[in-house]
């Protein structure tokens, strides 16, 4: 059977780092197994879902390098959900409930006060036809719960190993709201069945939900997929990321000038037994991918680590990979400066230093020294050996050596006391600009 996985974001906001992890783990699993990756928009919340957010998700997924085999929209499948919901009602799997949100909240608080788990007590199952009619006469509309079997549900999780959940310990899930709209669970299970999803890879916060979804899947008569639940992401302080996700959106990373493969590398390797390192090619991640490498402990995401990884990635990136994104420079320029940038835009500063009307810094104590360096500057043509030839001539003319020789020359040529190797920069600066700066 061909492997089919899905990534199912809701178009009610932009993708954040947690979403990216879900998308990438599914994408890598599909590539590793030669299967299909489906992008499914869970847009049953019509009031909050927007085309703008859907377009943003599409852009974010493409930025990560993910290429869905199919794109599906839940909003186009309401007739199918209605059909299945009606069959579940007819079979007695769905039952109507008339409690208001306030009534349910008060009931949960009473249970907690008694030390009882806040599990729904199935009071609605004991309502008579007359009582239901009375509620409806008051204008109450029922929400519909799925009647769990109150039996153990077992599966072998591809990350967590054997999982055992007794559905008697959890509330019957609400599948249909009072207004007839659907919560996440039922459309998701129906889609997984209809689209032939073979593996569901998602966060461990869904483990308990999985038990209910397995029962719903069996009630509908569909094949139960394999499940893998990975650990959640924490911040560097060990706290959850939920309050910071707005600042950790893929859109923000992109606007900050981060490389997509830096985000892909870190997100794909977080929580695994592999060392985190920059990968320039997705194939490296695919070849090393194995869900069994994911640990049970929460993974920590540190934005500072992402920025360091981004710099390391650029330091090893070939000119061919950035040439179309740099409207200036050439391969020699890129090889000279890439080791001194953290983001691609940083290369612009070095291009301006090399090619612009840079004013060098010459300290009073160095004026005679720089004057002599000016006089012994070699004639062109220049190459990377020119720097050594020149500094040897300067050393012979002034007696200076080491830092006292090299630092004044760097400041005079670049206006900075740090930067790329001058052996590579000097030929790019050229003799005329060098003479002007030394003067």
The pTM (predicted TM-score) of the whole model is 0.92
In the chain, the percentage of residues whose pLDDT exceeds 90 is 94
pLDDT of 360? 84
Q: Provide mean pLDDT across the span 422-434.
A: 96
- Return the pLDDT at 26: 98
**Does the pLDDT at position 238 exceed 90?**
no
Q: What per-residue confidence (pLDDT) applies to 51?
A: 96
User: What's residue 331's pLDDT?
Assistant: 97
Burial 394-433 (b: 16+ CB within 10 A, else e): bbeebebeeeebbebbbbbbbeeeebbebbbbbbbbebeb
Domain boundaries, the chain: 4-68+184-233, 81-176, 242-319, 355-438
Burial (CB < 10 A; 0-12, 13-18, 19+), residue 7, is: buried
Which CATH number is associated with domain 81-176?
3.90.800.10
Give me the pLDDT at residue 4, please: 98
The total of other beta-carbon atoms located within 10 Å of residue 112's CB is 11
Query: Is 3.40.50.300 the CATH number for 4-68+184-233?
Result: no
The CATH class of 355-438 is mainly alpha
What is the pLDDT averaged over residues 240-259?
84
Architecture of domain 242-319: Orthogonal Bundle (1.10)
Tell me if 224 sits within 8 A of 107, measured CB to CB.
Answer: no
The whole-angstrom separation of Cα 398 and Cα 377 is 13
d(CA 186, CA 193): 11
In this structure, the number of other CB atoms found within 10 A of the CB of residue 267 comes to 26
In the predicted structure, residue 242 carries a pLDDT above the cut 90: no
> For the chain, what's the residue count?
439
Q: What is the pLDDT of residues 79-108, one digit of tens each?
A: 999 999 999 999 999 999 999 999 999 999
CB 273 within 8 A of CB 297: no
For residue range 127-138, list pLDDT tens digits in order. Answer: 999 999 999 999
Residue 1 confidence (pLDDT): 67
Task: Map tokens 């492997």 to a residue.
Answer: 3
Q: Is pLDDT of 7 > 70?
A: yes
How many CB atoms neighbour CB 139 within 10 A?
6
**How much is the pLDDT for 228?**
98
Cβ-count burial 212-248 (b if 16+ within 10 Å, e if not): bbbbbbebbebebbebbbbbbbbbeeeeebeeebeeb
Binned at pLDDT 50, 70 and 90, residue 243 comes out as: low
* Tens digit of each residue's pLDDT (9 = 90 or more) over 293-333: 999 999 999 999 999 999 999 999 999 999 999 999 999 99
pLDDT at 246: 64
Q: Distance (Å, rounded) from C-alpha 52 to C-alpha 436?
A: 53
Q: Please, what is the end-to-end C-alpha distance for the chain in angstroms?
A: 74
Q: At residue 399, does pLDDT exceed 60?
A: yes
Q: According to the model, what pLDDT value does residue 239 have?
A: 84
Tell me the mean pLDDT in the region 391-410.
97
91: Cβ contacts below 8 Å, ≥ 6 apart: 219
The per-residue pLDDT for range 334-366, each reduced to its tens digit, is: 999 999 999 999 999 999 999 988 778 999 999
């Amino acid at each position: 059977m061909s492997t089919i996985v899905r990534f199912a974001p809701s178009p009610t906001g932009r993708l954040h780092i947690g979403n990216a992890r879900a998308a990438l783990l599914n994408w890598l699993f599909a590539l590793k197994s030669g299967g299909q990756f489906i992008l499914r928009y869970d847009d049953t919340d019509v009031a909050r879902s927007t085309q703008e957010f859907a377009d943003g998700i599409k852009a974010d997924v493409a930025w990560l390098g993910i290429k869905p085999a199919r794109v599906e929209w839940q909003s186009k499948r309401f007739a199918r959900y209605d059909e299945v919901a009606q069959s579940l009602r007819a079979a007695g799997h769905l039952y109507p409930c008339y409690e208001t949100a306030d009534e349910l909240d008060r009931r949960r608080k009473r249970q907690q006060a008694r030390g009882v788990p806040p599990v729904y007590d199935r009071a609605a199952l004991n309502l008579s036809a007359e009582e239901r009619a009375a509620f409806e006469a008051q204008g109450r509309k029922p929400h519909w719960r799925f009647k769990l079997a109150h039996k153990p549900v077992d599966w072998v999780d591809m990350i967590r190993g054997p999982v055992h959940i007794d559905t008697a310990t959890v509330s019957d899930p609400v599948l249909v709201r009072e207004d007839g709209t659907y919560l996440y669970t039922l459309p998701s299970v129906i889609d997984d069945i209809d689209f032939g999803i073979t593996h569901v890879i998602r966060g461990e916060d869904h483990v308990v939900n999985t038990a209910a979804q397995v029962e719903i899947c069996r009630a509908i008569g569909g094949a139960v997929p394999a499940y893998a639940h990975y650990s959640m992401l924490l911040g560097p302080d060990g706290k959850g990321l939920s309050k910071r996700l707005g600042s950790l959106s893929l859109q923000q990373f992109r606007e900050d000038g981060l490389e997509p493969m830096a985000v892909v590398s870190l997100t794909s390797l977080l929580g695994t037994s592999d060392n985190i390192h920059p990968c320039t090619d997705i194939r490296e991640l695919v070849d090393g991918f194995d869900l069994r490498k994911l640990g049970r402990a929460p993974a920590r995401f540190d934005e500072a680590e992402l920025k360091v990884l981004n710099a390391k990635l650029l330091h090893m990136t070939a000119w061919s990979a950035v040439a179309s994104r740099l409207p200036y420079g050439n391969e020699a320029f890129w090889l000279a400066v890439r080791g001194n940038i953290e983001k691609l835009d940083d290369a612009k500063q070095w291009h301006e230093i090399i090619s612009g009307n840079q004013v060098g810094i010459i300290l009073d104590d160095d004026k005679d020294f720089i004057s002599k360096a000016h006089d012994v500057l070699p004639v062109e043509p220049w190459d990377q050996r020119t720097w050594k030839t020149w500094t040897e001539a300067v050393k012979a003319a002034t007696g200076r050596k080491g830092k006292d020789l090299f630092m004044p020359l760097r400041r005079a040529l670049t206006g900075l006391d740090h930067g790329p190797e001058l052996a590579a920069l000097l030929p790019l600066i050229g003799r005329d600009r060098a003479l002007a700066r030394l003067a």
